[in-house]
Structure 1
Amino acid sequence: MPAARPRLLYVTDLAYRARGRRYCDEDIHLTSRLRAHFDLALCHPLDAAALMADHDAVVVRNSGPVLGYPREYEAFRARALATGARVYNPLTGKADMAGKQYLLDLTAAGFPVIPTVDSVEGLHRLPPATRYVVKPRLGADSLGLRTVPGSRIASLTASDVLIQPRVDFVHEVSFYFVDDDFQYALYAPDPRRRWELRPYAATAADLEFARRFIDWNDLGHGIQRVDACRTDDGGLLLVELEDLNPYLSLDALPEEARDAFVTAFTASLNRFVQAVPSPVLG
């Protein structure tokens, strides 16, 4: 049973640099608030496997892309599964936590996602386009992403990549959930400045779109971010479903909304620590 004040190991890389964002500011703010409810220790992702046994749960937050340390991340995951350690977000995620295969799966299942194939042999399943986006199957933070003219896409020889038509869109919008509960939405009015975010008033249709992916992933606990683009016809297409360590852009929110998120996050962590753990295969 967890202690009266649950002990959390909060995994973050305070030195990680991302274009247009300061991850460390977000985690400094969140941990300063969580300390009122939990006994909290911060650690670098490379130290998490060695330290997690002394805590009631491990909270993976702004730890940076695991591409920088894949062997160590797999060792952390294997130890957590072997020991039954509670990891938040749970390791059952089917989206970015498991790579980009979900974009292929959702395309095949007819979900509203940017159509995706994994080889030039599958190009006939995509709508014709003058440009295509080619990204690594294991990718993050746009690393390795490139645009290829339609006249050259058939000669592409790279392997372990995903291919999508380049979609013209009005803006990008993200929907943030804690457990299954919608918290807030942010959007980038200028597609050229994707990290200049503003609060967005989500419509009922927007939330119906986003919840399809939350329901599909079926995490139960945790923070998820549904990234989408608004197309010229007014519809939404999924760009990414982040279920490992989504950056929250809390600095773009007014204080009241930021406080409401912290309250929801705290309540979710309390429920997670108290819940009977479920078996995880992996």
Structure 2
Amino acid sequence: MRISTLAWVTTAPARGLDEDEDLALAALRRTGVTVDVVDWDDPDVDWSAHDRVVLRSTWDYDDRLDEFVAWLRRVAQQTELVNPLPAVLWSTDKQYLRELADAGVPITPTTFVRPGETPAFPDGRFVVKPAVGAGSRGAASYGPTQHGVAADHVRALHDAGQVVLVQPFVHSVPVEGEWPLVFLGGAYSHAASKRVALPEAALIEDLFAAEVNAPHVATAEQVEVARAAVAVVTARFGPLPYARVDLVRADDGSSLVLEVELVEPSLFLPQADPGAADRLAAALIG
């Protein structure tokens, strides 16, 4: 099917904050596609009027998950949703890390603590985060003397119905940050480096945590690990228009998957080569 109209979906609090948007919209419009930038919760939008509805900066979805999922299901019945609904639903809950680990993909060591379970915290510094979350909201790091306040954090997340992820703090992160590797149309496209200052014993309340981003040339090992994660996704859902795999460096120097982002990931177009926006446009209308 030839795509002639496309909805680029955001949310009111994210307006003007998506650094990918200008580059991507210009590339899409160069193809002749008509693009409308719309809020996902705007009741006046006729979603069936668009050939494709592309999730981009819907960065408040985790705070309104039930509402967002109901909206996703309605849109998927009216037109084509990108990424597809099954992949989006899978990606909203970081318990997918179990599936990656079972497939042999190296992940950040993770303990999943369900409501009603008592957490066992690792030695040294560690991170507590919700299984459903975006932009590092609801996540915090703790030191070895802060088990009490960390337990309070877990309890609060459980009270909100969340499964909790407990992970040992990766010591390379404050120095080197994370490496997002971006895949477009199922193929590796480009990478960036991302540094987020995760507060100790405090939560991020803004729409997303402040980041310092820069271009990055991924190593062959990083691409191999990211491709292994994408292979699991592709086997389950088929090739996706866009996916992002976030890597960190383990103490032994190897790469670990921190997250696989399929819902509304930043794609780091300003940090990529000049052709990346056109590759995204091709993936979105292909």
Note the C-alpha offset of 1:87. 0.9
Indicate which of 130, 147, 164 corresponds to 2:167: 164
Distance 1:33 1:98, change over 3 A: same
Q: Distance in 2 between matches of 1:69 and 1:95?
A: 14
> RMSD of the alignment, in Å?
2.9
Deviations 1:103-155 (A, max 9, x none): 233345543111112226574xx8x4312211112211111112233455488
Deviations 1:206-261 (A, max 9, x none): 111110111111141221111111233211111111111111222233xxx13x11
Indicate which of 167, 172, 180 corresponds to 1:174: 180
Deviations 1:28-70 (A, max 9, x none): 3321231232022221111279421111111111221302432
Q: Distance in 2 between matches of 1:225 and 1:192?
A: 20
Distance 1:136 1:33, change over 3 A: same
Distance 1:25 1:236, change over 3 A: closer
Contact 1:131/1:148 (8 A) holds in 2: yes
Note the C-alpha offset of 1:25. 4.2
Q: Distance in 1 between matches of 2:106 and 2:82?
A: 27
Q: Who is 2:5 aligned against?
A: 7
Q: The residue matched to 2:68 in structure 1 has which SS?
A: helix
Higher alpha-carbon deviation: 196-205 or 176-185: 196-205
Are 1:196 and 2:212 matched, yes or no? yes
Q: Who is 1:274 aligned against?
A: none
Q: The residue matched to 1:73 in structure 2 has which SS?
A: helix
Q: Distance in 1 between matches of 2:88 and 2:55?
A: 16
Indicate which of 30, 50, 62 corresponds to 1:55: 50
Note the C-alpha offset of 1:101. 1.3
Contact 2:95/2:131 (8 A) holds in 1: yes
Q: Who is 2:233 aligned against?
A: 217
Structure 2 residues not aligned, in runs of 5+: 199-209
Deviations 1:180-221 (A, max 9, x none): 111111114x67598322222222221111101111111412
Q: Distance in 1 between matches of 2:36 and 2:66?
A: 23
Note the C-alpha offset of 1:26. 2.5
Contact 1:49/1:75 (8 A) holds in 2: no
Aligned residue pairs total: 256
Distance 1:150 1:212, change over 3 A: same
Q: Distance in 1 between matches of 2:85 and 2:170?
A: 31
Q: Who is 2:256 aligned against?
A: 237
Q: The residue matched to 1:144 in structure 2 has which SS?
A: coil
Q: Who is 1:32 aligned against?
A: 26
Q: The residue matched to 1:232 in structure 2 has which SS?
A: coil
Contact 1:97/1:242 (8 A) holds in 2: yes
Could you tell me the TM-score, scaled by structure 1's length? 0.79
